[in-house]
Amino acid sequence: QQQVKQSPQSLIVQKGGISIINCAYENTAFDYFPWYQQFPGKGPALLIAIRPDVSEKKEGRFTISFNKSAKQFSLHIMDSQPGDSATYFCAASGGSYIPTFGRGTSLIVHP
């Protein structure tokens, strides 16, 4: 059973646009929600993370929005750039520190 559902599977955005990736979780024991960015041929890298005591966290052009009651969180990439083209994974951890990953979103930003 997939505990973290991520959508969309793929996303194409024009340069300067907003990229939005959504995730939903089921396990209420989760208390840490990171996003990882993976470029082709590289390992995933931690991009930004949030804990459920806040509803939003912003780092540069990247923002996580968190809705605890709906058990949903999302990544917003403002002013998307071609260099943002990558696969993005949401994840959730809690209790056990081993994260559960979403299935990933392939983002392409056209120049």
- Residues paired with 105 in a beta bridge: 88
**Considering beta carbons, is residue 18 or 46 the nearer one to other proteins?**
46
In the complex, the smallest distance separating the C-beta of residue 106 from other proteins, rounded to whole angstroms, is 8
Count of alpha carbons within 13 Å of 52, Cβ hemisphere only?
16
What is the contact surface with other proteins in residues (CB under 8 A)? 32, 34, 36, 38, 41-46, 49, 87, 89, 93, 96-99, 101, 103-104, 106
Could you tell me the sign of the dihedral formed by the alpha carbons of 30, 25, 2, 106, in that order? negative
In the complex, the smallest distance separating the C-beta of residue 46 from other proteins, rounded to whole angstroms, is 6
**Considering beta carbons, is residue 14 or 53 the nearer one to other proteins?**
53
In the complex, the smallest distance separating the C-beta of residue 99 from other proteins, rounded to whole angstroms, is 7
In the complex, the smallest distance separating the C-beta of residue 48 from other proteins, rounded to whole angstroms, is 11
Please report the DSSP string for 42-110 in residue order: S--EEEEEE-TT-SEEEETTEEEEEETTTTEEEEEESS--GGG-EEEEEEEEESEEEEEE---EEEEEE
**Considering beta carbons, is residue 45 or 54 the nearer one to other proteins?**
45
**Considering beta carbons, is residue 45 or 78 the nearer one to other proteins?**
45
